[in-house]
Chains A and B, each alone.
Chain A
């Protein structure tokens, strides 16, 4: 039990830290003009922060769900969704309102599948787990297609593979949490968070290449 509360404390600290970094880089008025990013570095930093935050919050939510701590799960899920909304706004600031509106339900969908997977693990329901994994794998293609439509220089399959790694690294977190292997869970959280750079950096670069007039190369 001591391990568990330590993990919760750690996650809360990590969350607080990532939230403060996220809000500084994303919402900081001095870095943004008209809700968009003026510098390429701001965009890259914001995407990295938001996507890492996504991993920490998702891990907090799945940990609470597996521990049947409902109030904690609801809180984490609420913050996770606020992060999704911020991400969609970042997408919207680059690609426009239509893209923002289309991105949000698409992104939320994979979180729903993750909740399904976690519920399947908690209930030891193999069929539910397999269905959730199949849904997640299919989802990676959808996400790849979305990014390809927005930034055609990103091949659908490459993005899908990157998102697949995200899905697999987060699945490893849930599996370790379910096995109450906290050392592994924490190290998998670091792996999953670290991998987000593999998505955020190329995405930011593609956006900057696509809209060279919008971003100062700094």
Chain B
């Protein structure tokens, strides 16, 4: 009985070890692929709001907006009264993404052309040397 229990525990340990290694390897792969690319910042569009609606990023960061609502939204630079012109995704729908890389420091307000009350802001700061 004792032997059975012991070999069972050993089996679990071996399993945990292999599984744990696998997880560890996954984490490293992700980290490696991230560091070789530019920084990314994800913004979710859900329940007619940008989440988070305010982000501060270093210059060179790529922002990815994902639409999780079952309706078209846009990510348009500026305000409903005054367009910015730096970026405009035009309408994209559920499951689709819009990507933009910020190469210049500054403050970029943006909104949705269909739902003008939806607003967000990207603050791009100089990269830390």
Q: By the criterion CB–CB under 8 Å, are B70 and A145 in contact?
A: yes
Residue of A whose beta carbon sits closest to that of B51: A98
A149 touches B46 (CB 8 A): yes
- Asked if B25 lies at the interface with its beta carbon under 8 angstroms from chain A, I say no
Whether A101 and B49, one on each chain, are in contact in the complex, defined by CB atoms closer than 8 angstroms, is: yes
Q: How far is the CB of A208 from chain B (nearest CB, A)?
A: 19
A149 contact from B68, B114, B116, Cβ within 8 A: B68
Main secondary structure of the interface of A (DSSP, over half): helix
**Which residues of the other chain, B, contact A102 by a CB distance below 8 angstroms?**
47-49, 117-118
- A 78-107 binary contact with B (CB < 8 Å = 1; else 0): 000000000000000001001101110110
CB distance from B67 to the nearest CB of A (A): 10
Residues of B within 8 A of A72 (CB): none
- Could you say which residues of chain B place their CB within 8 Å of the CB of A49? none
Majority SS at the chain B contact face:
loop
Minimum C-beta distance from A123 to chain B (A): 25
Interface centre among B46, B48, B115, B118 (most CB of A within 10 A): B48
- The distance in angstroms between the C-alpha atoms of A150 and B71, with both chains bound, is 13
Residue contact B115 to A142, C-beta cutoff 8 Å? yes
Closest residue of chain B to A143 (Cβ to Cβ) is: B71
Q: Is the CB of B71 within 8 A of A142?
A: yes
**A190 — which chain B residues lie within 8 A by C-beta?**
none
Offer 7 A-B interface pairs, CB within 8 angstroms, sorted by A. A101-B49, A102-B48, A102-B118, A103-B48, A106-B48, A144-B70, A149-B48
A149 with B69: CB separation less than 8 A? yes
